[in-house]
Amino acid sequence: MRRLLAAVILLAAPAARADHTVGCLVRSGKAGVRCLAAYTGAIERCRRTVDVACETALRAPGGTLDRLVAQADAASRVPCTAADADVLGYVGGLADVGLRTRQACGDFAEDLLAIGYSARPGASTGRLLRCQRAVAARLRRLRGRVIEAFGPGCFVPALAGRGCARGRRDHRVALARADARRGILDDCGPRFAALGLAPEPGVAAQLDDVLDRVVDRARHFAESVYPPHTLGPTAEPGPFPVGVQTLALVDPSRTDVTGSGPRPVTIEVYYPSTPAAVAGVPHDIAEVLGVAVAPTPAFRDVARAPGPFPLVLFSHGNGGIRFQSIFLCAHLASHGYVVASPDHRGDTFVDLLMGLSDPQGAMNRPLDLRFVTDRMLAFDAAPGNFFADLIDAARIAATGHSFGGFTDFLIAGGASPLGTFTDPRVRAIFPMAPAAVFADAFFATITVPTLIVGGTLDTTVPFAANQQRPFEALPAGALLDGLAELTDVGHFTFSDLCEVPRNLSAVIGGFDEACQPRHLPWRYAHRIVNFFALNFFDAVLKGDPAALARLAPAKLTHADEITSYQTRQAVADRGGP
């Protein structure tokens, strides 16, 4: 609701509203930058004098570091309103602005200190200590220049409508890196290798590794505390408030994995709602086993907008859950899609926690999606049903993550070693970090439009074998086939794992394969995924030429954080904005 109000206010007073939101971004970002400088500075003062007791005192519960991040939490909220927070993509209003600022401060400070300070005992004495101090100073300056170039130098003016001069920004970063490299070589010479800051052989290789990591983390920090909005309206929430319902269904044609009764298929359905329906309704809170996990942008059990809308099926990953990627499901619903996301019984986080697994999961998954499609279309055809006349049966697609991407392949392809699960009602697929265990010949049977996305840091299903190879095996002829490789994105970045409180994510696992500081800040990654997904489905399901044009590689040559992107189209690019 706040996002809707923000849009209304923006239309009523565009200059004042935009100025206030830009001011929020500037000042909340500065609060994060000040915290990073104070946090690292406090520890560096201890390390310059090799005072272990000093650092221990800083890290004590309720000590200086805890106070610094608490101050950043409070300071980042002050210049913002709840509407500003919604426009900038924070979930949960001002509390989320503060939480994400304090997390960014602590996460990046610790990582940058680990990159720039030697753990070797010899680094705390004599000429090597002088080298260490010089390195720390040079890296601190480099970090600041990179953050400035990306945050105030790019993301702030882009939000204000002035665009981002990427060429100038990248030149400034290159100069800052070159200055740091030259200065460290002048200060340390061959002694730099004795610090052991990188595993590569030789001073030059070690120094380049350290500089690259500092630039990388500084860029990620800027993307975290100055959230970028540079991809246009299709990467942002759409005009519809998002409703959500949970349907507890059973498939009588299959037996439950427990061996008794029919197979349960619990579905989360996201759908377009109306401003009147969500007025005064709080945002839904995702829960697992009765424990609140994270706020969502959806509203529980509210009235729906009049249809019909295309239907998108979502298949979760191995050990995932039906609401593991709300960011994408809600985004599509806000732009006029119905998204149905089932639990795959015997392969959810809760099932595995309870010791329940499905040995036939690979085959039950596509059958789950077929069942969901059958039921949603039956509801659509039933007068008086909540979902009656809501779905356009001629426009059905699927998306999924990891094992869910594997499931997408199964329902779109032909015969496989597991059997044939083709569902001709599914007109397009959008697999995210899919597991591609099939031979090339199977992928050659997928004739529907297919856009595959993966990440450079995915070690679970590496890009070359699981995304590049299937794309190259797809046959020609579809309206659009595409492949996008996202920079510094890990396997679980395609889920909402990083939204989960840290104590719970430690139990779930996967934090180190998704979340900052090494990985691209997940919410920025999600905006990129949302951009690709919405434009792909708009292009291939709705026949929107503007959406197809936005997916042309020539239109994305200057987009940040896309390592590679390629397409094959059955028709020539038609131009467009």
DSSP conformation letters of 486-550 = ETT--GGGGTTGGGS-HHHHHHH--GGGT-TTTSPPHHHHHHHHHHHHHHHHHHHHH--HHHHHH
With tokens 């002088």, the residue in question is 130
Note whether residue 169 is domain-resident.
Answer: yes
84 and 105 share a domain? Answer: yes
Q: Is the pLDDT of residue 509 over 50?
A: yes
| Average pLDDT rounded to a whole number, residues 488-495 | 97
CA dihedral 397, 402, 403, 406 (to 10 degrees): 50
Contact 467, 485 (CB under 8 A): yes
216 and 336 share a domain? Answer: no
Q: Is the pLDDT of residue 516 over 90?
A: no
Q: Is the pLDDT of residue 4 over 50?
A: no
221 and 247 share a domain? Answer: no
Q: Is the pLDDT of residue 10 over 60?
A: no
Q: What pLDDT score does 501 carry?
A: 85
- Residue 420 sits at φ, ψ, to 5 deg, of -115, 125
| Average pLDDT rounded to a whole number, residues 340-366 | 95
With tokens 């030059």, the residue in question is 204
210 and 244 share a domain? Answer: no
Which residues are bridge partners to 233 per DSSP? Answer: none
Note whether residue 576 is domain-resident.
Answer: no
Kindly give, in sequence order, each residue whose CB lies less than 8 Å from that of residue 48, ignoring residues fewer than 6 positions away. Answer: 133, 136
498 and 397 share a domain? Answer: yes
The H helix count followed by the E strand count for the chain is 21, 14
The residue out of 228, 256, 291 marking a domain boundary is 228
Q: For residues 356-393, b (16+ Cβ closer than 10 Å) or e, as one string?
A: eebeebbebbbbbbbbbbebbbebbeeeeeebeebbbe
Note whether residue 574 is domain-resident.
Answer: no
The residue out of 228, 249, 265 marking a domain boundary is 228
80 and 134 share a domain? Answer: yes
Note whether residue 407 is domain-resident.
Answer: yes
pLDDT confidence bin for 571, thresholds 50/70/90? low
Q: What pLDDT score does 507 carry?
A: 67
180 and 326 share a domain? Answer: no
Q: What pLDDT score does 5 carry?
A: 38
CATH of the domain at 344: 3.40.50.1820
Give how many domains the chain has, as a whole number: 2
Give kind and range of the element (H or E) at residue 316. none
**Mean pLDDT lowest for which of 71-80, 274-283, 286-295, 520-529?**
286-295
207 and 264 share a domain? Answer: no
Looking at every residue in the chain, the average pLDDT score rounds to 93
In the chain, the percentage of residues whose pLDDT exceeds 90 is 86
| Average pLDDT rounded to a whole number, residues 139-156 | 98
Note whether residue 460 is domain-resident.
Answer: yes
| Average pLDDT rounded to a whole number, residues 120-148 | 93
409 and 478 share a domain? Answer: yes
Q: Is the pLDDT of residue 262 over 50?
A: yes
402 and 268 share a domain? Answer: yes
With tokens 């265990």, the residue in question is 437
Q: What pLDDT score does 511 carry?
A: 77
- Residue 453 sits at φ, ψ, to 5 deg, of -125, 145
User: 260 is in which domain, residue-wise?
Assistant: 234-569
| Average pLDDT rounded to a whole number, residues 407-434 | 98
481 and 346 share a domain? Answer: yes
174 and 307 share a domain? Answer: no
Note whether residue 575 is domain-resident.
Answer: no
What's the CA gap between 345 and 423, in Å, rounded? 20
Q: Is the pLDDT of residue 320 over 90?
A: yes
pLDDT confidence bin for 468, thresholds 50/70/90? very high
